[in-house]
Structures are given as structure tokens and as C-alpha cells.
Structure 1
């Protein structure tokens, strides 16, 4: 699977190109096979016609002139000889082209003995056999061999036809296989067709997968902003249906968030009235200690209500991005809580200033409260802005590192009510950073303490 392209477009295009290659290969194999059979059939028919013509010509030519006639008719594509012995043995059975030649000649020359086979031309006999030279013209001295013919040693069609006087006409015809398929005039059109099909496949796959990229981008925007514009409903029927379903889901999520915000706003408004009455009544309590405790509890309740309402409104997604000097923002917040800053003097990046400030402030405040000494580092590499906060506290167990981001979760082992807080600090911070397209992760440092990493893209 590692050799496959990672994208759907790449994999689909690869499958199409491989399918085209296989189809071209199969078609080329079938064409080559049919071409070979056609050439064999045409070659056999042409050879049979030539042999029939030579037989008729030799029958009408006196024996003393046959050598001269065959010399005049000799050609590279068909060598003929005449003698007392056949070129093809009696026990050789014709196959393929040879069988077709025997069938054609037997039909045209009734009563004549015809032999044919596929094989090389045998070497000429030794001189002591009575041969005075390879090209025999007299039927008394041995088998009919060919002047210059014995040099053709490749597979060829060998035909022997008995003449009326008992001698044999021997024909040796090299088999023509035709031009090789691997020539520019044949290969270049195939390559051009393959390139054209590949380009068309890539274009078609790109158009087919483009709506999927748009759907993924819309889902990414929805994760950062529930009020993002709806996805255009265009393209093929299936893509339009998916876009319509996505827009319906986004609208339902938006209505759910709005309903939740309105409900919490109403609860917050309704709670403020009895809290205000209780605050007025607390002022009449004569015991100073009890009055101070009651006012502190009421103030904590108001703070929790305000924090809950701010979290429910999700102000981070409603704020517009604009250029912000992140280095100046982080450095000022670090100085306010007494934390060392390490990073550039200036780093301007597009961000939501209030949301980013709230997120960094919550993380730095937690580091100051629960981590003892701390240090914050700011960097930007390859379009990814990273804010790293290291403290020297007890850290957080790995099982709880994701749990602490849930709203109203406070780890009692390291945090008690005397320190204050509503359990929304990390939840608000993560919501703000995720609204920027990034995230917050927690890690325990090997040397002790907790590392909080805020990162989001700025490219």
C-alpha cells in the first residue's frame, strides 16, 4: 500500500492508466497473433501459386533447358531446384502453413504427389555422391539442390512436387514474418494514444474529485466557525446530495448552538436578579466574617455565570482575523504573571486578538498557579506558529491530559477551591486555538513539570 499514491485522484488515475496499459497490451498481443496468422496464410497462398506456375512451366520445358529457366526465375523470396530426389522426406507431416500449401496444390494439381514441411534447407551432398556442383540441372545425378540456396538455413517453407517424368521440383521459400511491431511508425501512435488517454483520465478524475476537496474544506471551516458560509450545491447528482446534506447538518448545528446560547443567556439573566437581592441582604448581616463569606460566594457565582456564558457564546469564532504582533502579546501577558519569555521581539501573524489573548492568558495563569516557575517560548516554522509553556509543577497524569479540557473539570489532586477557577480555562483556551485551525496538547516533561503546546497555522 505504500507504493500507492496517497490521494484519491492519484489512485483513480493510476487504476485508469494501468487498465489502459493492460487493454493496449491485450490488443497488441491479439493483433500480433492475427497478423502472424494472416501473413502466414498469405505467404502460403502466394507460395502455392508460384509452385503451381513453376510446375506447369517445367512440364512444358525440355529437361536440358530447365536449369536455365529456374536460374532466370530464382529470387530471394523463392528458390527453386530440380532433381531426382524430393527435398521433403516421405515421413515428414505438414503442419501449419505447410499443411495449407499441400491442400491448395493438391486441389489445383490432381494426381500429383505434393509434400511440404517447415524447416531449414539441408546442406548439399558431398562430391563423391556424383554431384559436380550444388546447382543440379540433370535429374540423373541426385537430389535437386539450389545454387546459392544452401546458405539459407533459417526456418522456411519446403515444397516438393513430383513431375510427370518422375523427377521432383523442389522449392525453398523463406517465411516472411513482416516488419517488427517495434517501429516508430507503430509505437509512436500507441504512445500518443496512451498519453492522450492518461491526460483525459487525469482531467476527468480531477473534476470528479474536486467536489470532495471542497467538502473537506467546508468541514474544516465548520470545525473552526459554525457560521461559515454554506457549501455550493453543484456538480453531479451524488455530489449535490452530499453538499445538501452537509448544509442541512451545518444549519442544525448552528441552530443548536444558538438555542444553547440563548438558554444559557436566559439562565444567566434570571440568576443575576436573585444574586443581586442576596447581595443586598448580605449587607445587613451584622457579623463581618459571615458577611464577607456570603459576598465572596456571591461574587464567585457571578464569575462562574459570566465565564459559562462567555464559553457558551463561543466568542472566538465570531471575531475577525487581523494582523497581530503575537510576540508582543505573549511577552506582555508573560510579564503580567511573572513568567520568563523566550522568543522573537516581533512576530506579526493573522489571528483573532481577543480569543488568542484569552487562550494564552488562561494557559499562563494555570502555569503560574499550579506549576511554580514557568517559561514561555514562541516560534514560527514552516507556517506553523507555536507557543510552548513549560512549568516545574507536578504535571498531569496521561489518563487525565485529555479530560482536563472538558468544561467544569478540575483535578482535585493538584487544584482546590482555594485557588479559584471554574474549570473552564483550558476548555476556553482550546476552543480559541481550534478556532484558529490549531490545537492544544499537554505533555509531561522528562525532567519534571508540564509542557503545554499551543499551535495553529498562519500561512
Structure 2
């Protein structure tokens, strides 16, 4: 078992490597699963077929070996029965007739044969032929068996090879061209000083190739079928994931406020996707209506609440009791501030403008120069980085972060960097920082820490919430962390 933080755990390393190989997209995952499934199925089927082919080849080879051995034993009996003087005459007549099942020759000694490379099926055939010959000719002194290739086969004494013989002697018995086949050679001593030499082909001359399940002519149909199946799999997977990609793009555009035209999703593909597309379109319309109703509601609130608040302020001036008048004015000021804060929150987070390319140096440079003219210390180095978004909304979000840094930290530093697929903007102040348990609550409306109220008594605690809403609408992320060297660091991550 592996316990953290051990970094050398082989199981964890293997899991990390496998995780890197696992695609992130649905298209990649479905393609990988289907391709792997087809490959495993093909390999398993090929392995079963190869096993059956080898077993079949083994049975056929054993039967053919026994047939050849019985024929050879009959030929050996025939030549043993002939007088020695007639044997060469019979052999010559057989050659002139075109030969028989065997190429036959007589030698005074055993001829060494250069055998083919070791092969299990060839070895099995030689063993079967040897056992059958011993069974048919139990009194023979022994048999020398071997498989050889025609171009290296020695057939007579003084190193006479098969290629040195006239074609008429062997062309009807052995295969020499265009595709030579291995030749079975049987040598036995029929009497002292006389060796009978017999060479023959197996009933299936190319039995070694027929036993190979990975021969090119057998692999080609499998490769073609595998290619067709994989192509069909890719087409099916693509047809499944393409509507999902369209749905994802539409959801991302709507979430970032880039879908003002609200083009309907194409209702094509499977029944499940058509239902999903219809549900998404209905949800988008409901959300759009809700946003429009909310805007009208806050416009009404702005109109309806400011008038009675103003009237109440005027009437409070008519009160004779100064203490009571002051209490009324404080309550009305607080109410007025809350209404303005709510309206500002809606106004700053619902900015209707078209996305465009934003050069951060221009936006941040203007903000830094304005702060420096106001007497604040702000550090910034141009980066040459651009992002795509709503210029005014992003400017307000970054402006809120810079204002907070200057209000609560005296001086600020802004830095821009690039990471794979992300642009990072950091706004750091040099203030006292924020307690770790209070970081999460800084985004809540009207939440202000004691240090913030001392530094900026006119604020309402809405700036960070507005900034996060704008950055979230751009598909980004806003994080607040305490800097190791002191102060609060606001980290903005935007899509590159």
C-alpha cells in the first residue's frame, strides 16, 4: 500500500501516466474506447482463428506425413527387391518417363543435407514420417530425414546439387521455380554400401506458409475490415459529438453574454439531443426574459424609491426636534445608500456591449496613470498581452480591484503573465492583508472588514462582488489570496 506523500509510488505513477493518455474530450474518449474495442475484438478473433488454423494444419500435416511415409516404405521395398544391377536402369527409365512420386537416386554413402530453419510443424512431420517408416519397415537399419530448400539440396556424391540436373528429371516431381517449396529427403541404407536417396514434396507443398496466420494474404482482409469498421466508428462518434459541441458553444456564448441574437440550436441528430436542444432553447428564453424583467424591475425601483426618499428628506427638515430629525436623516441616508448600491451592482454587472480584442497595456496603463496623477503609488510593466471580452465591463472589474488595493494598501502593483490557455492579471496591495477565515466572505454584498471601514468609510462593499461577476461572465476566475510578503493579492485568470 502507498501512503502520501511518497512520490515514488509505482501505482500512483502508473495512474498519472494513464490519466495523461486518457483524452479530455468526449470525441477522443468515444473514439479511443471504440477503436480499442474493435482492436481487442480483432486480436481475440485472430488469436482464436490462428489457434484453430494451427490445430487444423497439424492434423492435416500428420495425415499427409503418414501418406508420404507409406508411399516411401513401398518404394523402399520395391528397390530392395530389385537386383542391384537393375536398380540404376529402373531409375533411368523413371527419369525418362518424367518421374514418379519421388525423385530417386543411389549413392554409396549418406549425403549430409543443409536443412531449413527449425519449424515446429516441419519437426512434427519428420517425427511422424520416421515413426511410420519404422512401423512399416521394422527391419531397416534406420532412416535419415530432413527438409531442405531446392537451391541448396545435394542429390548425389561429389556435391552434385539439384540445380545441376536436367529439368526433365525433376520438373514434374519437385517445385524449383517460380516459388520453391521445401523438399522432404529420405535416405536409408538398403544394403551395405548402397544408400537409397528419395526426395519428395508434401501433398501441400507450401504447408509452412499455410500454417502462418499472419501471412500477408490473410492479414490483408482483416486489415481492410478493421479499417472500414474504424472509419464507420469515427463517423458515428463524430455525428454524436458534433451536436454536443454545438450545444457547448451555445451554452458558453450565452453564459458570457455573447448570444444576443439567440440563434436556435439545430434540431438534428439523435432523439435525445433533439430533446436536449429544445430544453436548452426553452431555458435560454426563460433566462433572457428573467434578465429583461429584472432590468425593468430595477429601473422601476430607481424611479419609485428615489421620489419618496426625497420627499421624506424634505419632510424631515420640518421636524422641530433636532435629535429626531437627525435620526430620520441618518435612516434615510442609509436607505438611499442601499438603493444606490443595489442599482450600481446591477448596472456594473449587466453591461451590454459586444466582445472585442482588448489590449491590457492600454486599459491598465490608463488606470495606472490616473491613479498616479491622484498621488497613488502604482507599479506596472507593459506585457503586450491581449484578451477578448467586453472592454467597459472588464475595465470596471479591474478598476474595482485597483481601487480596493489603493484604498486599503496605500500602494499597489499590477502584473500580467501568460500561462497555457490563460492570461493572469495580479493586483497586489501592500496593506495588512485579510484573515484567512474572512477571505471567502469578501465577495458578499455590504461586507466590509474593520480595516476597510477605517480606510474608506464611503464604500458599500460591492466592488469585489461586481468584479467577480464580470470576470465570471468572461469565463474567467477571480481569487483572493494573502501574498507571502504581505498584503492581499487579487488574481484574475481570463481565457487567452
* Deviation (angstroms), 1:175: 9.7
Aligned equivalent of 2:277 = 243
Unaligned stretches of 5+ in structure 1?
83-95, 106-112, 125-133, 158-171
1:306-358 Cα distance to aligned partner (Å, 9 max, x none): 33124235654522223443233432453347241312297665432322232
* Deviation (angstroms), 1:9: 2.4
Contact 1:326 1:348 in 2 (8 A): no
Q: How large is the Cα RMSD of the aligned pairs?
A: 4.8
1:129-155 Cα distance to aligned partner (Å, 9 max, x none): xxxxx6555xxx59x974267xx9xxx
Aligned partner (choices 233, 237, 243) of residue 201 of structure 1: 233
Deviates more, 1:312-321 or 1:355-364: 312-321
Aligned equivalent of 2:465 = 427
- Give the distance between the partners of 2:100 and 2:469, measured in 1 at CA: 89
* Deviation (angstroms), 1:46: 8.8
Change (3 A) 1:312 1:176: same
Aligned equivalent of 2:431 = 393
Q: 5 Å matches for 1:184-223?
A: 184-223=216-255
Instruction: Say yes or no: does 1:176 pair with 2:207.
Output: yes
Aligned partner (choices 373, 376, 382) of residue 344 of structure 1: 382
| Superposed structure 1 runs of 4+ greater than 6 Å apart | 56-62, 73-77, 79-82, 172-175, 286-293
Contact 2:239 2:269 in 1 (8 A): no
Unaligned stretches of 5+ in structure 2?
1-17, 107-123, 146-186
Instruction: Say yes or no: does 1:13 pair with 2:45.
Output: no
Instruction: Say yes or no: does 1:374 pair with 2:412.
Output: yes
* Structure-1-length-normalised TM-score: 0.69
Change (3 A) 1:40 1:299: same
* Structure-2-length-normalised TM-score: 0.64
- Give the distance between the partners of 2:247 and 2:103, measured in 1 at CA: 75
- Give the distance between the partners of 2:45 and 2:253, measured in 1 at CA: 49
Aligned equivalent of 1:147 = 197
Aligned to 1:147, the other structure's residue is in SS state strand
Aligned equivalent of 1:24 = 42
Instruction: Say yes or no: does 1:330 pair with 2:361.
Output: no
Q: 5 Å matches for 1:11-410?
A: 11-39=29-57, 44=63, 48=67, 51=70, 55=74, 63-64=82-83, 72=94, 122-123=143-144, 135-137=188-190, 146-147=196-197, 176-179=207-210, 180-225=212-257, 229=262, 230-284=264-318, 298-312=332-346, 315-324=349-358, 325-335=362-372, 336=374, 338-344=376-382, 349-379=387-417, 384-410=422-448
Change (3 A) 1:11 1:145: farther
Contact 2:348 2:393 in 1 (8 A): no
- Give the distance between the partners of 2:326 and 2:59, measured in 1 at CA: 115
* Deviation (angstroms), 1:271: 1.9
Change (3 A) 1:38 1:322: closer
* Deviation (angstroms), 1:277: 0.4
- Give the distance between the partners of 1:59 and 1:239, measured in 2 at CA: 83
* Deviation (angstroms), 1:402: 2.5
Change (3 A) 1:205 1:367: same
